Chains A and B, each alone.
Chain A
Amino acid sequence: MEQERTTPPNNHLAMAIISTLICCLPAGVVSIVYASQVNSKFIAGDYQGAERASKNAKTWWIISLAVAAAGIIIMLAIYGIAFIAAIASSEF
């Protein structure tokens, strides 16, 4: 049997909020829902469920932030190429 635990698994709530508010994807909201499950399952004594919810919460905020970061990088790459092309075509 699993013994009583005192510390809940990381619920990733802070990063869930951050990723919801700085990127604009519903993925952050999903992460908040899983964060809520971490707390409620841990209080109910379902430690494995809480661990699973913790992993899901982590996955979803990483997805949310990664999509935002990818967006910035892609936009920078497109504008970088366009900028270099503009310089190259204007000087010669």
Chain B
Amino acid sequence: MSKSLKIFIYTGLSFITIAALSLYLNYNPTEVSFFPQCPFHYATGLHCPGCGTQRAIHDILNGDILSGIQHNVLIVLAIAVLSYNLFILLRQHFHPHKTKNLLYHKATPMTLFFIIIFYWIGRNIPIEPFTFLAP
């Protein structure tokens, strides 16, 4: 890929991200209906690991972090992984040989995979300790 095409794509993607975030900042997904509903939830009635994220993004962007986390606990994981990755990218730029990326550890992807799968199962169990996980 040529360098100018890359810059073009990244600029475009940043604009789309900012546009999407401002949409979620200004409109509450529980009140307006133009946000898409999860196809998995629509088809099965069960909650998937991503259910509640639109509401969570809306609440967190509006400063209501606690109720945002209640809609989807794993949004914390998503934000953590994203910021960790950005931090590592920056560090790799300045200390290319000293930086170890935990995301490239052999066990990391499978650990996260099982966290997400158990989360998926857990949030569909309608009993007391698990109901916290449901959106």
| Dominant secondary structure of chain B at its interface with chain A | helix
Chain A residues engaging chain B, CB cutoff 8 angstroms: 8, 11, 13-14, 16-18, 20-26, 28-29, 32-33, 35-36, 38-40, 42-43, 68-69, 71-72, 74-76, 78-79
Point out the residues of chain B lying under 8 angstroms from A21, CB to CB.
49-50, 53, 72, 74-75, 77-78, 116
Chain B residues engaging chain A, CB cutoff 8 angstroms: 16, 20, 23, 33-36, 38-41, 48-51, 53, 57, 72, 74-75, 77-78, 81-82, 84-85, 103-106, 108-110, 112-113, 116-117
**Interchain CB contact under 8 A, B39 and A40:** no
* Residue in A21, A25, A71 whose Cβ sees the most chain B Cβ within 10 Å: A21
| Dominant secondary structure of chain A at its interface with chain B | helix
